[in-house]
Amino acid sequence: MIFDLLIKNAIIFPESELKDIYIKSGKFDQIEPSGKKTSYPALSILNLREKTLIPAFTDAHTHFFQWSLGRIQVSLEQVESYDDALNKISAYLSLNPDTPAVIATDFDQYRWIKPILPSKKDLDKISTSCPIVMRRICGHLAVFNSPALKKIENLVDKRFIDFKEGIVVEDPVLKIYNYFPPSPEMINQALQSAQQECFRQGISAVGEITSSLGRKIIARASHQHQLKVKFRLSVNQQDFKNLQQGGFYPSLGDDPVSLRALKIFLDGSIGGKTAAVSFVYKDAPASARRGILLMEQNELGELLKSALNDHWKIWIHAIGDRAIDLILSSAKKLHLKNTENIRIEHFELPSPEAIDQVADMGIQLCVQPNFINNWSFPGQLYQQVLPDEIYRFNNPLKEILNRKCNFCFGSDNMPVNPFYGIQGTVNSPLPVQRLSLTEAIKRYTFHSARCLGDTNRGKIIPGFQADIAVLNQFPDENNLLQIEVEQMYIDGEKVYDPYGES
């Protein structure tokens, strides 16, 4: 037999022995100790000279489409103050006076010198003719100027809009590009740039949460071979009902793009103080001291029954303990079967009892270790807005592991950088959040792939798809933010090699 690719002298994390890896038809075929006197013929040979391999990451929770567009317009992720954010928006508009709208993304007021929520008044000072939107990093809250509000006022549920302050929450924010559609040229540039960033971070597959517009664009680009990242897509409630009426069912094959899940939103975010909780946020307005629930139990129960009966996976956004408990009580009340097809997204503020129930029911969890780095260290967001006893039990990944819950990792694009998230849990200030490095990498590779329904990805063993990242150094607890991906393979094909030919 002639193999397609032989990778020689590789160190497969977490082992230290050198291995030779034979790849055929996009899969790992044989893995043997390096240094054997005889080797099998291969069409291509890569000598890694003792460099480290890991399985490519699967980011199980992304908003790839929105993130891709935000990257090429106005990203506020790195700005240090409100004034800097406004100046960056103004500068972009000055350089692009004919732009139909400015969507400035990923601001986080809790990282600013003075945490202040943007205002419609200040955005109107920049322009009263061009729509401007500042979207918070959580994706659940945005501030619109007057032209932007006018654009959407008859298109969305007005319950989500504060016209006086320009604050918009939840559904309209998640569908922002439906109301302010980008040009085809912008879309193509955005998708290619975002895919390269995925490769740079060692990501081969994502669980994508987007609008119907995003799904169509991703599917078309993949069909035209413009995208090589694998996409496992979800649909919102309205699209789900339309698909059901049309007789469509989820696809579970290994196609580059497949429809996997119904996405349900039960609450908002901690940063927006809209995550549904049983306690009172610090300094929260009287109207939202315990966040908001976006759905009643009866409606949730009907959706769960309907989707599970048609073999859909269900991804449910639930950050606060009230939202988490609503899922668990609904499943228990309805005596639901196939609860392993239910996946709770985020699970940031569970009670110990909720963790036990999740383990008993076999419900999956998709958690974000990068949130620990972003907001869980002393003085950061969680400590600013949560009561002390709640803060000390946020994102309790070690407890989730100890109680044998089925969980995986995703980034929620905050940021798209698996090693940043892994560094958060490995070096967490709270023991309840701390995982070993080996365990954290497994949760971002094999377990994330499995949570998306891909049972033959995420390990470097015979029979699995050959998705791998070549690293510049062997990972340890101290070097995670210095690690770079030097090469990337998907299905045995090289897709990224910044120092050679890609």
> For residue range 39-51, what is the model confidence (pLDDT) as tens digits?
789 999 999 999 9
> For residue range 147-161, what is the model confidence (pLDDT) as tens digits?
999 999 999 999 899
pTM (2 d.p.): 0.94
β-strands 203-208, 167-169 pairing: unpaired
> For residue range 82-141, what is the model confidence (pLDDT) as tens digits?
999 999 999 999 999 999 999 999 999 999 989 899 999 999 999 999 999 999 998 889
Domains of the chain as residue ranges with CATH: 3-56+463-496 (2.30.40.10), 65-179 (3.10.310.70), 258-448 (3.20.20.140)
Task: Express the helix, strand and coil content of the chain in percent, nearest 5 each.
Answer: 35, 25, 40
Report whether 146 contacts 136 (CB < 8 A).
Answer: no
> For residue range 336-371, what is the model confidence (pLDDT) as tens digits?
878 899 999 999 999 999 999 999 999 999 999 999
- In whole angstroms, what is the distance from residue 199 CA to residue 280 CA? 42
Q: For the chain, how many residues are written?
A: 502
Peptide bond into 396 cis (omega under 30): no
Q: Residue 162 contacts by C-beta under 8 Å, 6 or more apart in sequence?
A: 168
* Cα end-to-end span (Å), the chain: 27
Q: What is the pLDDT of residue 502?
A: 43
Of all residues in the chain, the percent with pLDDT exceeding 90 is 87
> For residue range 474-502, what is the model confidence (pLDDT) as tens digits?
999 999 999 999 999 999 999 999 988 54
CA-nearest of 464, 494, 425, 418 to 201 is: 418
